[in-house]
A and B are shown apart, each in its own frame.
Chain A
Amino acid sequence: MEIDPFIFRLSIFILSIFIGYYVVWSVTPSLHTPLMSVTNAISSVIIVGAIIAALAGTSESIFNTSSIFGFMAIILAAINIFGGFLVTQRMLQMYKKKKHKKK
């Protein structure tokens, strides 16, 4: 009997939870705020679903009920992607080591 592809996706999901578990525990506590903003940014990869929905319209009807929701989701996700990565970058730029020149 063939294995349902769902089982493969489930396997990826469960293994990723484990990867997430170990990777996140190794994040230094001082970077927990950037961790939250970057997880925000990457979870907006949900934009792929929004793009598929938005592109589903035909050239006669670009905007149908389904694709309008897609377009709205694109805006929301794009705010998050750009905002999330850029604000993370801005924060990370500020973390500096002590300058050892003075001593």
Chain B
Amino acid sequence: MISANLAAIFYLVSGILFILALRGLSSPDTSRQGNYFGIAGMIIAIVVTFLSVGNFSTSLVYVIIFLVIGGVIGAFIAFKIPMTAMPELVAGFHSLVGLAAVFVAIAAFLNPSAFNLGNVGNIKLASLIEMSIGAAVGAITFSGSIIAFLKLRGIMSGAPITFSGQHILNLLLGIGIFVLIFYLCKTQSTNIFWTVIIISFLVGVLLIIPIGGADMPVVISMLNSYSGWAAAGIGFTLENTALIITGALVGSSGAILSYIMCKAMNRSFVSVILGGFGADNSNDDKKEKKDQKPVKSGNAEDAAFLMKNASSVIIVPGYGMAVAQAQHALREMVDKLKKNDIKVTYAIHPVAGRMPGHMNVLLAEANVPYDEVFELEDINNDFANSDVAFVIGANDVTNPVAKTDPKSPIFGMPVLDVEKCKSVLFVKRSLSPGYAGIDNELFYKDNTLMLFADAKKMTEDIVKNLD
């Protein structure tokens, strides 16, 4: 049994270790060390909690049993999950944080004396507000992440679900939550507490269903942020420094990531939240006209020939590469090219894939050294001096329309200047538009050669032809 003051100091230490864990991620070299700091912080927090409660009865045995059960499940998932499924995994983890926050809030509401918050029916006002906010945000995080998970996993269609009056309904429910919390403080009624949680679950679902597949990087970052704010809310309730610090860190981390993602799409956060992007393809007439334009298509042999005679190649990966699991074949292709003294680099758009940094992880998995992989602003000028751009599974992020047509929905979005390359190889299954629902002008350029096939199969064929 340790004193509350000593415990608070240890919680502060674990909060600082969490800050160092994030700090480590500023470079891949220091990142592994950072992760150990994070683990150390967690161990300190858990051990100090055991010591400060000081209840070493049979309850402790059960706590450890449940801890081990969860740990085994978590470790099993961590080792089994394929890297291409990272977005779903992260969404799934967010939902667990959210639900855990809800459960802790419920536990605190039902047994406030265990947390020194007063007695049932007479909970301290500040604590009651904090725990109901923590529970509400946690519930929104939980149900929102479940919807994001289903969409990313493909169980639910990625298409936005919209209906009239949707935003007004969300607004009313949001206001409703605040009104109910106000009455909860006045009456301390258990029923109102449950109602707040149920409405929050509903809000989480309604908030995410109108957001389409292409906006998933923003959604995941946003839910990341929410899970942090939920943790901070509970941290205030429990008067726990480690939890408050962590909540603030995670909350601002998710908010910054959402901001970066929105900026990379040139869309305001509000328009992403309101959703419906890519839902209507009303400009059909325009599409038909374009379809009649000639498209040059080639096969693996042509592609291999072009690349063999190039002196520099830039690879532009996108979500299609992840779907086709083409990263390993791609790496094989690059190895062959390098043997012929061809300079190969990778260009990554911030929103390529379904979550921030998605492409980087897949390339790292395929043993691509991270110093060959460049972000948009670092590599965009190199396209003009390169011979071949190999676009594999990316689409909207290469569309020159974003620079030329002010009427286009993606106008103003920073794009990779692939068309400036001497030739462009575009691996794609068909001419269908990308998630933004618009045609890519790049398909019809004279220097573009379309390679219609599955990304993995095409890359493997090119590898064969490079010999």
Chain A residue numbers with a CB within 8 Å of B365 are 94
- Give Cα A36–Cα B97 distance, bound, in whole angstroms: 13
Residue B251 contacts which of A9, A20, A92 (CB distance < 8 angstroms)? A20
Residue A27 contacts which of B22, B42, B108 (CB distance < 8 angstroms)? B22
Residue A82 contacts which of B71, B108, B367 (CB distance < 8 angstroms)? B71
Known: A76-B103, A98-B369. A33 touches B75 (CB 8 A): no
- Give Cα A89–Cα B79 distance, bound, in whole angstroms: 10
Chain A residue numbers with a CB within 8 Å of B367 are 94, 96
- Give Cα A90–Cα B249 distance, bound, in whole angstroms: 23
Residue among B72, B356, B361, B370 having the largest count of chain A Cβ atoms under 10 Å: B361
Known: A76-B70, A79-B73. A67 touches B111 (CB 8 A): yes
B50-58, B275-283, B404-412, B421-429 - the one binding chain A: B50-58
The A/B interface has a contact count, at CB < 8 Å, of 376
- Give Cα A98–Cα B11 distance, bound, in whole angstroms: 40
Q: Does the CB pair A36–B111 fall under 8 Å?
A: no
Q: Does the CB pair A13–B96 fall under 8 Å?
A: no
Apart from A29-B356, A37-B89, A70-B107, what are 19 other A-B pairs with CB-CB below 8 Å? Answer: A13-B247, A29-B360, A33-B357, A34-B357, A38-B21, A40-B93, A43-B227, A45-B242, A49-B243, A50-B104, A55-B53, A59-B58, A65-B111, A67-B107, A67-B111, A70-B103, A77-B96, A81-B70, A82-B78
Q: Does the CB pair B239–A78 fall under 8 Å?
A: no
Chain A residue numbers with a CB within 8 Å of B39 are 85
- Give Cα A26–Cα B260 distance, bound, in whole angstroms: 13
Q: Does the CB pair A66–B111 fall under 8 Å?
A: yes
* A63-93 near B? 1/0 per residue, CB < 8 Å: 0111101111111111111111111111111
Q: Does the CB pair B107–A53 fall under 8 Å?
A: yes
Q: Does the CB pair A16–B355 fall under 8 Å?
A: no
Q: Does the CB pair A27–B111 fall under 8 Å?
A: no
Chain B residue numbers with a CB within 8 Å of A37 are 86, 89-90, 93
A-binding residues in B (CB < 8 A) = 11, 14-15, 18-19, 21-23, 25-28, 31-32, 34-35, 38-39, 41-42, 45-46, 49-50, 53, 55, 57-60, 62-63, 66-75, 77-79, 81, 83, 86, 89-90, 93-94, 96-97, 99-101, 103-104, 106-108, 110-111, 114-115, 126, 220-221, 224, 227-228, 231-232, 234-254, 256-257, 260, 348, 350, 355-358, 360-361, 364-365, 367, 369-373, 375
Q: Does the CB pair A82–B74 fall under 8 Å?
A: yes
The prevalent SS among residues of A at the interface is: helix
Q: Does the CB pair B372–A98 fall under 8 Å?
A: yes
What are 15 residue pairs bridging A and B, where the CB atoms are less than 8 Å apart in the complex?
A13-B245, A28-B28, A29-B360, A35-B257, A38-B34, A40-B97, A42-B246, A55-B53, A55-B60, A76-B99, A81-B70, A82-B74, A88-B38, A90-B78, A97-B370
B-binding residues in A (CB < 8 A) = 5-6, 9, 12-14, 16-17, 19-21, 23-59, 62, 64-67, 69-99
Q: Does the CB pair A75–B70 fall under 8 Å?
A: yes
Chain A residue numbers with a CB within 8 Å of B103 are 50, 69-70, 72-73, 76
Residue A41 contacts which of B42, B114, B355, B356 (CB distance < 8 angstroms)? B42
Q: Does the CB pair B59–A24 fall under 8 Å?
A: no
Q: Does the CB pair A39–B228 fall under 8 Å?
A: yes
Residue among A52, A56, A70 having the largest count of chain B Cβ atoms under 10 Å: A52
Chain B residue numbers with a CB within 8 Å of A46 are 97, 100-101, 104, 231, 234-235, 243
Residue A51 contacts which of B34, B35, B49, B224 (CB distance < 8 angstroms)? B49
- Give Cα A17–Cα B45 distance, bound, in whole angstroms: 20
Closest to B228 in A: A43
Q: Does the CB pair B104–A70 fall under 8 Å?
A: yes
Chain B residue numbers with a CB within 8 Å of A79 are 70-71, 73-74, 77, 93, 96
Give chain B nearest CB distance to A68 CB in angstroms. 8
Q: Does the CB pair B356–A33 fall under 8 Å?
A: yes
The 9 closest A-B pairs by CB, nearest first: A78-B70, A32-B357, A82-B74, A83-B74, A66-B111, A56-B114, A16-B248, A20-B252, A32-B356
- Give Cα A76–Cα B224 distance, bound, in whole angstroms: 16
